[in-house]
Structure 1
Amino acid sequence: MLITAGTRNLMLDTPGSSLRKLVDELTGEGAEVLIAALPEAAERFGAELGDVRIGWLPLDVVAPTCDLAVHHGGATTAMTLVNAGVPQLIIPDNGYGKAVAEAVAGFGAALVVDRNRPQAGRSPDEVISAGCREILSDPRYAERTRTLAAQAATLPTPAEVLLELEALAAA
Structure 2
Amino acid sequence: MRVLVTTSAVNSHLNNLVPTAWALRTAGHEVCVASQPDLTEAIKNSGLPAVAVGEPMAKPRGIDESSGTPFGLGFDIAETRPEKLTLDYVRGTLDTYTSMVGEYMADQSMLDDLVRFARAWKPDLVLWDAHNYAGPVLARVIGAAHVRILPAPDHWARMHARYLDLAAEQTSPPSADDDPMAAYLGAKLARYDREYDEEVVVGQATLDPLPSWVGFPLDIDYRAVRHVPYHGPTVVPPWLRRKPKRPRVCLTLGQTRRALGVQGSAGGEEVSITDVLEGVAALDVEVIATLRADQLPPNTVVPDNVRLFDFLPLNPLLPTCSAVVHYGGMGSVGAAVVHGVPQLGIPGDMWGEGDVMARLEGRGAGLVGRGDTLVEQLRRLIEDPSFLEGAAQVQKEMLATPSPRDMVPELEALTARHRESRIG
Instruction: Identify the TM-score tier after normalising by the shorter chain.
Output: 0.7 to 0.9
Q: How big is the shift at 1:57? A: 1.2
CA deviations 1:9-30 (Å, max 9, x no partner) are 656367x754334334433331
Q: Higher helix share goes to which structure?
A: 1
1:110-121 mapped onto 2 (5 Å cutoff): 110-113=366-369
Q: Is the 8 A contact 1:46 1:54 kept in 2?
A: no
2: CA distance between counterparts of 1:2 and 1:96? 22
1: CA distance between counterparts of 2:367 and 2:287? 19
More displaced, 158-167 or 65-74?
Answer: 158-167
1: CA distance between counterparts of 2:277 and 2:286? 9
TM-score by length of 1: 0.78
- Mapped pair 1:77 → 2:332: yes
1: CA distance between counterparts of 2:263 and 2:325? 10
Which position in structure 2 is the counterpart of 1:48? 301
- Mapped pair 1:68 → 2:314: no
- Mapped pair 1:87 → 2:342: yes
* Aligned with residue 381 of structure 2, among 130, 135, 141: 135
Q: How big is the shift at 1:168? A: 4.1
Q: How big is the shift at 1:45? A: 6.6
- Mapped pair 1:19 → 2:267: no
2: CA distance between counterparts of 1:136 and 1:106? 17
Matched residue SS, 2:344: strand
* Aligned with residue 354 of structure 2, among 87, 98, 105: 98
> Which structure has more RCO (C-alpha within 8 Å, separation ≥ 6)?
1
2: CA distance between counterparts of 1:163 and 1:96? 32
2: CA distance between counterparts of 1:53 and 1:131? 21
Which position in structure 2 is the counterpart of 1:32? 286
- Mapped pair 1:59 → 2:314: yes
Q: Is the 8 A contact 1:87 1:135 kept in 2?
A: yes
Q: Is the 8 A contact 1:87 1:141 kept in 2?
A: yes
1:129–1:50 Cα change, 3 Å = closer
Which position in structure 2 is the counterpart of 1:117? none
Q: Is the 8 A contact 1:109 1:142 kept in 2?
A: yes
Q: Is the 8 A contact 1:63 1:86 kept in 2?
A: yes
1:46–1:60 Cα change, 3 Å = farther
Q: How big is the shift at 1:135? A: 1.0
* Aligned with residue 148 of structure 1, among 394, 411, 420: 394
1: CA distance between counterparts of 2:264 and 2:395? 29
Q: Is the 8 A contact 1:82 1:148 kept in 2?
A: yes
Q: Is the 8 A contact 1:6 1:37 kept in 2?
A: no
1:62–1:46 Cα change, 3 Å = farther
Matched residue SS, 2:276: helix
AA matched with 1:87: P
Q: Is the 8 A contact 2:282 2:375 kept in 1?
A: no
2: CA distance between counterparts of 1:46 and 1:54? 15
Q: Is the 8 A contact 1:37 1:57 kept in 2?
A: no
Which one has the largest radius of gyration? 2
Equivalent pairs, count: 159
1:29–1:92 Cα change, 3 Å = closer
1:11–1:104 Cα change, 3 Å = farther
1:84–1:61 Cα change, 3 Å = same
Q: How big is the shift at 1:170? A: 2.8
Q: How big is the shift at 1:97? A: 1.2
Q: How big is the shift at 1:144? A: 1.0
1:128–1:86 Cα change, 3 Å = same
1:143–1:45 Cα change, 3 Å = farther
